[in-house]
Amino acid sequence: NAGVTQTPKFRVLKTGQSMTLLCAQDMNHEYMYWYRQDPGMGLRLIHYSVGEGTTAKGEVPDGYNVSRLKKQNFLLGLESAAPSQTSVYFCASSYLGSTEAFFGQGTRLTVV
Amino acid sequence: DAKTTQPNSMESNEEEPVHLPCNHSTISGTDYIHWYRQLPSQGPEYVIHGLTSNVNNRMASLAIAEDRKSSTLILHRATLRDAAVYYCIPKSNFNKFYFGSGTKLNVKP
Find the CB nearest B49 among A99, A105, A106.
A99
Closest CA to B48 of B36, B38, B40, B39: B36
Q: pLDDT tens for residues A52-111?
A: 999 999 989 999 999 999 999 999 999 999 999 999 999 999 998 777 899 999 999 999
Does residue B8 register a pLDDT over 90? yes
Identify whether the C-beta of residue B20 lies closer than 8 Å to the C-beta of residue B86: yes
A33 touches chain B (CB under 8 A): yes
Instruction: Choose from A38, A43, A87, A95 for mutation: most chain B CBs within 10 A.
Output: A43
pLDDT of residue A50: 92
Q: Say whether B95 and A45 touch across the interface (CB within 8 A).
A: no
Q: Say whether A41 and B34 touch across the interface (CB within 8 A).
A: no
Q: pLDDT tens for residues A10-36?
A: 999 999 999 999 999 999 999 999 999
- Searching chain B, which residue's CA lies closest to the CA of residue A96? B95
Indicate the pLDDT class of residue A2, thresholds 50, 70 and 90: confident
Does residue B1 register a pLDDT over 70? no
A95 burial level (CB within 10 Å; 0-12, 13-18, 19+):
middle
**Segment B38-43 mean pLDDT:** 93
pLDDT of residue B94: 55
Does residue B93 register a pLDDT over 70? no
Nearest CA distance, B109 vs chain A (angstrom) = 24
Q: Say whether A99 and B32 touch across the interface (CB within 8 A).
A: yes
Find the CB nearest B99 among A43, A48, A100.
A43
Amino acid sitting at position A83: P
Instruction: Choose from A31, A74, A99, A102 for mutation: most chain B CBs within 10 A.
Output: A99
Peptide bond into B90 cis (omega under 30): no
Indicate the pLDDT class of residue B95, thresholds 50, 70 and 90: low
In angstroms and rounded to an integer, the radius of gyration of the C-alpha atoms of chain B is 13
Distance CA A53, CA B90 (A): 28
A92 touches chain B (CB under 8 A): yes
Question: Mean pLDDT across chain B, nearest whole number?
Answer: 91
Distance CA B25, CA A73 (A): 37
Residue B55: partners with Cβ closer than 8 Å, 6 or more residues away: B48, B49, B61, B62, B64
A83 burial level (CB within 10 Å; 0-12, 13-18, 19+):
exposed
**Segment B77-87 mean pLDDT:** 96
